[in-house]
Amino acid sequence: MVKKVIISKLFLYRHRFVIGYTVLGLAFVALLFGLPLIAQTGLTDAEMDSAVISHALNANAPLEGDLVDLPYRLLQKASIAIFGLTPYSVKLPSILIGLLLGLLLILLLNRWFKNNVSLLASCLVVLSTPFLFLAGSGTPLLMLVFWPTLLLWLGSKIHGEKRPQPKYSFFFAIALLLSIFTPYMIYFAIFCVIFVAAQPHLRFIVKNLPKPILALAALIILGGATLLVTNVINRPDTLMELFFAKNFDGNAFFNNIYSGLAPVFSWKEQPQGVFLAPLMSLPLMSLALIGLFSTTKGFFASRNSIATLLLVFTLIITGFNPSAVVFFILPITILVAHGLKYLLEKWYGLFPENPYARISALLPLTILFGVMIVPSWLQYLYGYRYNPQIANEFHYDLAIIRKNLTDETLLVDEYYDFYKILEDSSDITVLPINSPYFTDKVAILHDEASPSENYALNRIITSPMRENSDIIYLYTVKGE
């Protein structure tokens, strides 16, 4: 007699979510640490500027009011100090924070949705092109997504428990305090306050929290506000940087929105900038639209309305800075989960008592996820290396300099402050291109002119990653 197999007792079935999250975690870690070596191997102007700012920080930075993006800057400064100036050391802080952000997204979805939905949505988002790019870019732009995700997860721990643990209210206040020194996060803090005040269930949760914890959280937030005001008084330009942008022009608000959204909806042409178009694949955007449609029913439930409100928030901050469009990763993540939840519920609703119909959904789901994940991963892997418009936004000089120069004097024009950092971890001397020099060997970036009549061109170092492939000109003293 054939023994009846009960699927729910099989090992793979009982541990399917643990196995799934383990595979996702391993793939995510491998991609984050490995892809910058083969995809984003160069540095953008923004990454080079970020390295210069981070390296220039001193121990008195908090006292002097230099608080904008301070946590990220300190981490990047430490990375460069430990590993020297390399493309990887510049990107390492984003890789580490990206790992934490990916974990927070998974935890957030797991709080709001069932395991099957949160696992599938997590796979789609953390392995998508924009997330991998953001986690491999050595700028504080990643913090624009990190802080709201952390705050939403902490808020869900307060909101979702029958008896909320007061410690999460304390952690929420600290995270909110730290976040306001990231550009545009003051707006998000105001958004959180208004959302809690307008949502009846959240108001009830807050009113029933222990009064000492609320008082302590209020003191932390008040202290942060005081620190912010003091910072603005000492450095008025901080106000512009936190609320708008360094060189923000009010007349360019709608043009910034257009420029920011260009890579999101560009399917044929590659717009200017470092974001590879389309930023999100068509299947993923379609799934997010389904999720947006599904949230119209019961819109005023906190979980349903928050994604739509975050989309509006994305448009507002994109008007200040086109690069802030990356914030839409967070609402898209939530909407994708809503879309998956809607599709699975509709499918299972058609066959509520038929296990074979449920199993038959595995094949189309596998195909659907393959169509979403594999092309997105290949787009990231090859697009940032071989798309000519994107590749020209990256500078590959640093890796070539470290590979080919040992004790030469490097003469630099435009990026002098960045390459000057090389002196801390190498025997290379870096001078402005118009400085007097008295060394036997001189290297010049992208310049065919001889440094003086006493020097002769000895060698030209080229790179296959540039349209103009000549990178470094090496000169030696005549007669050497």
Comparing CA positions, the residue from 365, 360, 382 lying closest to residue 121 is 365
Once rounded to an integer, what is the mean pLDDT over residues 194-210?
72
Once rounded to an integer, what is the mean pLDDT over residues 236-258?
76
pLDDT tier at 24, thresholds 50, 70, 90: low
Query: What's the confidence (pLDDT) of residue 366?
Result: 73
Give the C-alpha separation, 351 to 11, whole Å.
25
Query: What's the confidence (pLDDT) of residue 1?
Result: 43
Query: What's the confidence (pLDDT) of residue 20?
Result: 65
Comparing CA positions, the residue from 437, 444, 363, 367 lying closest to residue 404 is 444
How many CA atoms are closer than 13 Å to the CA of 276, on its beta-carbon side?
A: 29
Give the C-alpha separation, 399 to 390, whole Å.
18
Give per-residue pLDDT as tens, 110-136: 888 887 788 788 888 888 888 888 888
Give the C-alpha separation, 356 to 395, whole Å.
54
Examine the pLDDT at 196 and tell me if it is beyond 50.
yes
Query: What's the confidence (pLDDT) of residue 279?
Result: 79
Q: Please state which of the ranges 67-71, 236-240, 442-446 shows the lowest mean pLDDT.
A: 236-240
Examine the pLDDT at 68 and tell me if it is beyond 50.
yes
pLDDT tier at 16, thresholds 50, 70, 90: low
Partners of residue 470 on adjacent β-strands: 462
Give the C-alpha separation, 320 to 360, whole Å.
48
pLDDT tier at 18, thresholds 50, 70, 90: low
Q: Report in angstroms the alpha-carbon separations of 351 from 287, 344, 360.
A: 22, 11, 11
Query: What's the confidence (pLDDT) of residue 252?
Result: 81
Give the C-alpha separation, 395 to 407, whole Å.
22
pLDDT tier at 79, thresholds 50, 70, 90: very high
Q: Tell me the pLDDT of the chain averaged across its residues.
A: 78
Burial of 364 (0-12, 13-18, 19+ CB in 10 A): exposed
Once rounded to an integer, what is the mean pLDDT over residues 148-174?
77
Once rounded to an integer, what is the mean pLDDT over residues 296-314?
74
Percent of the chain scored above 70 by pLDDT?
Answer: 81
Comparing CA positions, the residue from 73, 41, 48 lying closest to residue 415 is 48
- Higher pLDDT among residues 15 and 453, named by residue: 453
∠ CA 190-334-151 to the nearest 5 degrees?
35
Give per-residue pLDDT as tens, 402-435: 888 888 888 888 888 898 898 888 888 888 887 7
Once rounded to an integer, what is the mean pLDDT over residues 294-310?
71
Q: Please state which of the ranges 41-50, 201-210, 289-298 shows the lowest mean pLDDT.
A: 201-210
Query: What's the confidence (pLDDT) of residue 250?
Result: 66
The answer to whether the beta carbons of residues 55 and 73 sit under 8 Å apart is no
Delimit the domains of the chain by residue range: 24-391, 397-477
Once rounded to an integer, what is the mean pLDDT over residues 319-345?
86
CA torsion, ordered 283, 285, 288, 289, to nearest 10 deg:
-100
**Structure tokens of 405?**
């120069």
pTM (predicted TM-score)? 0.85
How many CA atoms are closer than 13 Å to the CA of 387, on its beta-carbon side?
A: 24
Give the C-alpha separation, 330 to 333, whole Å.
5
**Structure tokens of 52?**
């210069």
Give per-residue pLDDT as tens, 352-379: 666 666 666 667 777 777 777 777 777 8
Comparing CA positions, the residue from 341, 312, 323 lying closest to residue 279 is 323
Query: What's the confidence (pLDDT) of residue 147?
Result: 92
Comparing CA positions, the residue from 402, 397, 427, 393 lying closest to residue 415 is 397
pLDDT tier at 165, thresholds 50, 70, 90: low
- Higher pLDDT among residues 265 and 330, named by residue: 330
Query: What's the confidence (pLDDT) of residue 10?
Result: 56
Examine the pLDDT at 299 and tell me if it is beyond 70.
no
Query: What's the confidence (pLDDT) of residue 450?
Result: 67
**Structure tokens of 327?**
């914030």
Once rounded to an integer, what is the mean pLDDT over residues 93-106?
88
How many CA atoms are closer than 13 Å to the CA of 400, on its beta-carbon side?
A: 23
